[in-house]
Structure 1
């Protein structure tokens, strides 16, 4: 499983700086577990950030310096990524087949079979994690071939595909893919035939639905 959609460089910089909320970090870490490309990018962000901090001049104004550091880190991350070195063959033991990704276990439990889905709408089930920092963290299970309402975002959203797939204006998203979205994106995911699409999503603001019915039902769904 090689992801085709990745974390945005700005998200990786924020993660390297420890600036993501716990909910956002849990989704990012779920993606990083299975994405060697983003792990290399995160390591580069951490390395560049440390090097730039060591080079900073004590007399520089802090707000200006912070902006310059961020711009330099983003510029470095957008440079071509060198060919990866082979990862060590002595990989850690694989978790049980039924285990949830480790970053999600503190929020949803350790195994898939222990999940208790809540019906939200025809073909849509959800589990909401207990509130932590204030950001929303949910597991979604959407039936095959179902169109979701057209919506945009009033904040940022990280969605990691765990099982199944969907298509929207941004392309095809399958297992391991990350949808790193902001307020500029409006889309309508349509789940692929075959199996339900299961994903985990973290949001720092509510969705913004175009249709009146979806807006009417939004308080009941809580997204």
Structure 2
């Protein structure tokens, strides 16, 4: 594993923590480099992640070296397995996205309206997965199915999981999801004008491939 990959994980992990996109010792990151995957360790705040204290996994999730990986490593492994074009996954407990995940009446296939152009470009489609306890690998099959259809997932009563070609692109999409969830709550009860299917299609046709990784 190259030092630059480790440095990228540390940089993004610290940025996520410093900007309040997750809290306490929640949230985790993964990067695929060749045939192996680096993930953040369990029980460590993203603000304290260090380059020499990351967990190294085989592509199937087998722990190779380093500290014990996050108990949610299976989420990252499943996403990367089902999305060959993705090389990074970001998972946080961002407040507005997590708040969205607890609403009873939202549509699992369309939990968040496309309120902005950048949501359309960077997120595109969001899917809400059924509840599973954090770290419970029973969620693997649901993650795999959803990952085949899109790179942005929302875990029920939990938070977002977003894949991308690199960490920065995955984080951009996750932040756009969080921002749109915030807009959703700020405008709840008001009449809004989400983007139409034609407007979304036009955005997808002009999106830089690095902006998102839809399939």
Relative to total residues, which structure has the larger helix share, 1 or 2?
2
Q: TM-score, normalised by structure 1?
A: 0.22
Relative to total residues, which structure has the larger strand share, 1 or 2?
1
For the pair shown, which has the larger CA radius of gyration, 1 or 2? 1
